[in-house]
Amino acid sequence: MNTELLADKLLLAEMGARYCDACDRKDWDAALALFAKDAHLDASAVYGKTFDGHEQIREFFESAPDCLGHHATGFYSDVVSDTRATGRLKMLTLFKRNTFTVDYDWELNKVDDEWKIATQSFNILGKQDISPA
């Protein structure tokens, strides 16, 4: 594996951590900075909706249920070419009444030497309700 490929994979993994952090801080500008301007967010598996472009994706972020924390449990990527990659962010999301395990799937493009999420979709793999103590 060459150093350029390793550098790309490290940058992609860091994007996952930055995504979680931005969502936890509700810093939608920082979250949107990870997405291409014409990105597509497919939330149909969970919310039955899709969103296109920064304006609609911001609306999705601002209207999503209040999450106590996004905890990445793993990330892997495949750099397909100098300008295209895919990634999966494994995540544990914590809410007041339940916890979910979620897979976030990304298609990424390198634009002006910077990786951006072109497409994001996610699926819930498991749910655990939290009982009051």
* pLDDT, tens only, 50-77: 999 999 999 999 998 888 899 999 999 9
Q: What angle do CA 25, 46, 87 make, to 5 degrees?
A: 65
- CB-CB contact of 31 with 61 (8 Å): yes
CATH at residue 83: 3.10.450.50
Based on the structure, what is the number of domains in the chain?
1
Domain range for 107 is 3-129
| pLDDT(133) > 80 | no
pLDDT, mean over the chain: 93
**pTM of structure:** 0.92
Other beta carbons within 10 angstroms of residue 22's beta carbon come to 19
| pLDDT(129) > 70 | yes
